[in-house]
């Protein structure tokens, strides 16, 4: 099971890869279209939105199962995730993009694979 916190440090390097960055952009567009990531202040939070989308692209590449150990907004913010990461993940779950597989553990559903998967 992949922990999202373990992926955060690699994101700046990963988004330098053109194909990975295209998948991130596609995922971020989906998250905006589904109103999971808010459009207001989208420019101001561009890196945060991109890094959140990149987490799911990288998670898919590593098998699709992940966990979020903590639900604390302060801890998530300090770890480099959006402070409301847990709420955003629950929203993705409610919209059918993620499936619960355990306590604070999810897997990427086929509906989400169309965005995070390979081009």
* CATH code at position 54: 1.10.10
Q: What is the pLDDT of residue 75?
A: 83
Q: Which domain holds residue 18?
A: 2-38+45-116
Q: How far apart are CA 45 and CA 62, in angstroms?
A: 26
The count of domains in the chain is: 1
Contacts for 27 with CB less than 8 Å, ≥ 6 apart: 53, 54, 56, 57, 115, 116
Burial 38-63 (b: 16+ CB within 10 A, else e): eeeeeeeeeebbbbbbbbbbbbbbee
- pLDDT, tens only, 26-50: 999 999 899 888 777 766 677 788 8
pTM over 0.75: yes
């Amino acid at each position: 099971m992949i922990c999202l916190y373990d992926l955060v440090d690699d994101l700046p390097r990963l988004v330098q890869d053109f194909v990975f960055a295209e998948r991130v952009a596609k995922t971020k567009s989906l998250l905006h279209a589904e109103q999971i990531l808010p459009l207001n202040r989208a420019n101001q939070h561009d890196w945060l939105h991109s890094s959140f989308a990149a987490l799911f692209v990288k998670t898919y590449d590593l098998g699709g199962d992940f966990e979020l150990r903590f639900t604390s907004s302060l801890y998530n913010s300090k770890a480099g995730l959006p402070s409301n990461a847990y709420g955003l993940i629950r929203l993705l779950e409610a919209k059918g993009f993620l499936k619960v597989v355990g306590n604070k553990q999810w897997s990427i559903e086929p509906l989400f694979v169309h965005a995070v998967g390979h081009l």
